[in-house]
Structures are given as C-alpha cells and as structure tokens.
Amino acid sequence: MKKRRRRLLLFVMVCAAMVIGYSLFNKEESTTIPPKQAAADGTTTQDGGELSGDSDAETGENAESEAPAEAESPAPTDESKSGSEELPSDQPSHEGNNAEGEEQTEDGLVVIAQPADIAVLVNKQRKLPEEYNPSDLVYPDVRFIFSEKVEKRKLRQEAATALEKLFSAAEDDKVMLAGVSAYRSHSTQQKLFDRYVKRDGLVKARTYSAFPGTSEHETGLAIDISGSDGKCAAADCFADTKEAKWLAEHADEYGFIVRYPEGKEKITGYQYEPWHLRFVGVDLAAELANSGETLEEYYDAVPVTQ
Ligand SMILES: [Zn+2]
C-alpha cells in the first residue's frame, strides 16, 4: 500500500514537472517568434492604374495579384557605389541620386534634388519636385498605337532619339513595335490619382496607381511599348511575345532598360513589367545589363517593399 502511494506521488510529480516544463517551453517560444510578416508584398503595377485613365481596362485586379512568394532578402550592398568620388571616371554621374541636398517630406518620401539627371532614380520612396517639368520634351518619330499628337507621345530629346534608333533596329529584325504611353505630366498624374482616390479611397488607390511625383513617366524618360498590333499593351501577356523578347535582348544597346524585371519585385516595388522601358543612357544600360542589377541596387537604395 505504501509502495503504491509512493509510486502515485512520483507519477504526479513527473506529470507536474512535464506540465511546468511544457508551459515554460511554450512561453519561451512565443517570445522568440518574430511578428508575422504581412502576406502581401505590396508590389503593384506602375502602368495598370495609370493606363486605365486612357482605357476602360480594369486594373485593380491586376494590381492586387501578388508577385511569386520568395524569401525576403535585402538588396546587396556594395560600399564602392555609395560615394560618387570613389567612382571610376568612366562611370555615369550619380549626381541627383545622393541623399545630399535631398529633403524628406512629411509623408516619408524623398524629394529628388536633380530631377533632370538622365540616370535619376524615381520610385515609390523618391519623388520628383512638384514644380518639375522636363524642358526638352519632343515627339519621337515612331509608331504609336494611337494617332493623336498628345502629351503621352512625348519623350525627352535624348530618349526620343535613342527610341527612334531602337524602333528602326527592331524593324530590321522584323519586329514591329509601337509606343503605348510615354510622358505624363505631373498634373495629369495628379488628376488620375485624385480620380482613383475619389472612387476607391486613398489606401486602395495607392495599390494600383503611382502617387503623383513618383511615376517614372513623369520624367519623360520612360515609355511603355507593345507590338504594332497593340495586343497585350501594358498587360502580362506581353511577356510571351517576340517583341518583349527582342526588347529584353536589345534595349540596352540603345540606352534603355526593362526597369521592373522579373524576380526583383521587392526591390523595385513593382510587378514584372516587360513593356516599361526607361532611358538611362548607353553606358549605364550596358552596365546594368551585365550586372543584372536594378537602378535601386545600382544606387544602393533602400529596397522598395511597398
Ligand atoms: Zn510604364
């Protein structure tokens, strides 16, 4: 009888020890688990929402689809690129993309000091000054999917000349391109954005339309391109066309880059946009084509994750 009681007591003690141990372990675990990452990575389209100002395309749907899941990884850092004085002399100037002389607004965005720099970095964290309007906009002599001579046909002089060469080289390879949308003034972007905010509210609007001042189209250095038939204009299906393949292979030879590449969504803050080309000049375009870097990585900028 005594033996049984002792065994029972031992059993109870073991159980109690297990319960205490288990709860301690759980407590420990719950304090070390990092806060849950937001499911959505916040990448959006640069063009979808903006384009819907010109067409009836429903863009919210497109903007909400998520980029493929991938591990969060910070942009690689390379000290040698952060200071312009350390650059070899044949490098393009980083002027205008240094933090120096740039102020931060109350909404957390940096106002770009040198907006006219050909290699300017404009993204969701870096906006053009309110009053900035490119001074050398021209109409490039290339095919567009529309015939009107309107603002969105314009590009800055240097980009326009380069685009004409690009279109002509593509045609030599039997690839017929057409412009979809190039320059967009600050006031146009502001009007579009205001319309979306009125319709869907600020939070939703920001998921599919660029905040005024942060669209590359406002620089006069960016253009959306499709095939001459206009099919898949600024749409995901453009990725599988021969026109997209030609652009991916040859755009850098004329100073353009595919600004929002596949797999870099968390660095650029935008979904893959094989149609959105950005002029940066031949030297920088060649360098980026070689390294596979985005403009954000090139400048050691903070990855845009939302
Ligand atoms: Zn675009």
Torsion of the alpha carbons at 25, 31, 34 and 36, rounded to the nearest 10: 90
Ligand 1 mean position to 276 CA, how many Å? 4
Type of residue numbered 178: A
Domain spans in the chain, listed from the N-terminal domain onward:
109-298
CATH topology of domain 109-298: Muramoyl-pentapeptide Carboxypeptidase; domain 2 (3.30.1380)
Average pLDDT for residues 260-284, to the nearest whole number? 96
CB contact at 8 A, 288 and 295: yes
The pLDDT of residue 249:
98
Which entry of 216, 273, 293, 296 is annotated as an active-site residue?
273
- pTM value? 0.72
Average pLDDT for residues 200-204, to the nearest whole number? 93
φ, ψ for residue 249 (rounded to 5)? -85, -35
Ligand 1 mean position to 28 CA, how many Å? 49
Number of Cβ atoms within 10 Å of the Cβ of 161: 17
Q: Number of C-alpha atoms within 13 angstroms, CB side, residue 136?
A: 11
Is residue 28 among the annotated active site residues?
Answer: no
Instruction: Read off the pLDDT of residues 138-164 as tens digits, 9 standing for 90 and up.
Output: 999 999 999 999 999 999 999 999 999
